[in-house]
Chains A and B, each alone.
Chain A
Amino acid sequence: MKKGTLRQILLITDGCSNQGEDPAAMAALAREQGITVNVIGVLDHFDAEDSRGLQEVESIAQAGGGISQIVQTRQLAQTVQMVTKQAMTQTIKGVINQELQGILGETGTVEDLPPEKRGKVMEIVDELGETVDLDVCILVDTSASMKTKLPTVREALMDMTLSLSARMGRNNYCLYLFPGKRKAVTRVVSWSPNLDSIERAFEKIGTHGVTPTGPAIKEATKSFGQIARRKMLFQDDEAYDDGPRF
């Protein structure tokens, strides 16, 4: 398999969207373009109100071909990095499964191999997970109910970059917050190899009553177009490899 770039949207939210397009449909659209949508639901207590949020979290991830995880605020740090990595493994496994089906016929997947062979395949999956390049567009719900959780979200994101930067492959991040000031979403960090600049990103957030999750996913999907164009643009620029993108 050619070593390519994995593209993910990481959505961190606590609940129910109430504006714009259907978020699950937007996630499915992202998936069609080769982007996996993972969702972390930050729900501190489960009551009737939360159960709709829970459903939404699951359905977005399912439609987006990604992983969903419900957490309490204090477990956020470990979960964010785990979900991102697990989703990478899942995507790589998916690709390998496709290749295997070509060899083993319709029903052949990694899981159907005897343990010894599966072990070998998993080593390859591991190796790829270590070395592929990864683009993550982070999408954080900053609606009123998320306000108190934002410092923890910020920490969790820093923690994620710590885990990912230990890999051999390259990483690229961008960060969008929603709802934005006048638009549905605001981009606060554009594509860059690290997230050092998010320290203050969460400070100047006003509170809004709306949660336009669908439009946010759509916008995030578009952001990959920007990075793709940029890659083409700088393709034969050697310095591009090490330096920041901007």
Chain B
Amino acid sequence: MTGQDFNFYPGTRIIGKWHRKQYELIRKIGSGAQGTVYLAVSDGKKMAIKLARDRASLIAEVNVLKQFEQLQSNPLGPSLYDNDDWLYGGETIGFCAMEYLKGTPASEALRKRSFDWTIVFLVQLLNQLKKLHESGYIFADLKPENLIIIDPGHQIRCVDFGGATKIGRSVREYTEFYDRGYWGMGTRKAEPSYDLFACAMILIDAATGGRFERSGYPQDQLLRKVKEASRLVPYQSIIFKALSGRYASAEEMRQALVSQAMERQQPSTQMRRRGVSATAKSKTNDGWVSAWLAASIMLTIYIVCVLVYTM
């Protein structure tokens, strides 16, 4: 545990101590508490290399990724190519090479895109979590920074499985805002509902424009935050259910989200076309009521236009 960030120049060559594979670093992608991720090239193929600060956490991540390799279904995480040590100036740095997921970190994408997209990403995420849970793990350290929106296709993918934990064990890595223990709303035992709590917090984070610290009465505080956010109104009951751990599975929550999102669509086809700008408006307006107001004003204008046109 050295603590400081790695800083290697582009062009730095890495040779694995055990498997003797060669890599050339292209640029730094990002860094976190556990290590630094570089874009690298090996045999003409681009990949992501994670240099670990703490080898224990890397080993845990590699173990999990290996498990996924054995699953037949869609990839849950990036594919794992190699796992080795690099002897660098008398130090041994553990690293792993994995599939490079090209895209935008969700932390950025969620801010840039409309709230409708947040719902879409969450539905996708729940689908991934469902598979993960079925394979016996929870993700645990679920937060936008650990999610990537793949460039073409708008698909969400998880990165950083360092926190993934076998169901039934205790959670090792977490981020306070997304941790139900922090909010006094449950244990740190690895069970599917732990991830679902974090999903609800991702929604709250996206709708209220940022994380906030816990106050003296954390549960009331969360309740209030959810009630105050106009964009969360249609999803209130789903959020409360996830926060209180009452969803038995990711699939159950996913279905609830999907049907609620569909429900929200305006009934007639004309309205749906206008609906886009109506929801866009509601972001700047404070209340759900004003969103409806905007929508009905637009409907009125539309009808007037039609009348004028036909006359």
List chain A positions with a Cβ less than 8 A from chain B: 77-78, 85, 89, 111, 114-116, 118-119, 122-123, 125-126, 130, 159, 162-168
Measured CB to CB, the nearest residue on chain B to A67 is: B1
Asked if A166 and B188 make an inter-chain contact with CB atoms under 8 angstroms apart, the answer reads: yes
B18 at the interface (CB under 8 A from A): yes
Expressed in whole angstroms, the minimum distance between the Cβ of B39 and any Cβ of chain A is 22
Asked if A166 and B189 make an inter-chain contact with CB atoms under 8 angstroms apart, the answer reads: yes
Asked if B84 and A115 make an inter-chain contact with CB atoms under 8 angstroms apart, the answer reads: yes
Asked if B56 and A122 make an inter-chain contact with CB atoms under 8 angstroms apart, the answer reads: yes
Main DSSP-derived SS at the B contact region: mixed
Q: Which residues of A contact B172 (CB under 8 A)?
A: 85
Q: Which residues of A contact B160 (CB under 8 A)?
A: none
Asked if A115 and B18 make an inter-chain contact with CB atoms under 8 angstroms apart, the answer reads: yes
Measured CB to CB, the nearest residue on chain B to A127 is: B169
Identify B60's interface contact among A122, A165, A168, CB under 8 A: A122
Tally of contact residues, B, Cβ under 8 A: 25
Measured CB to CB, the nearest residue on chain A to B96 is: A115
Main DSSP-derived SS at the A contact region: helix
Within 8 A of A (CB), among B156-174: 168-172
Asked if B85 and A167 make an inter-chain contact with CB atoms under 8 angstroms apart, the answer reads: no
Asked if A115 and B181 make an inter-chain contact with CB atoms under 8 angstroms apart, the answer reads: no
A85, A163, A167 — which one has the most chain B CB atoms within 10 A of its CB?
Answer: A163
Identify B63's interface contact among A85, A122, A130, A168, CB under 8 A: A122
Distance of A116 Cα from B190 Cα, bound (Å): 25
Distance of A213 Cα from B168 Cα, bound (Å): 38
Identify B170's interface contact among A111, A114, A116, A166, CB under 8 A: A166
Distance of A165 Cα from B170 Cα, bound (Å): 8
Asked if A166 and B187 make an inter-chain contact with CB atoms under 8 angstroms apart, the answer reads: yes
Measured CB to CB, the nearest residue on chain B to A112 is: B92
Instruction: Assess A130 versus B169: contact at CB under 8 Å? Given A111-B55, A115-B18.
Output: yes
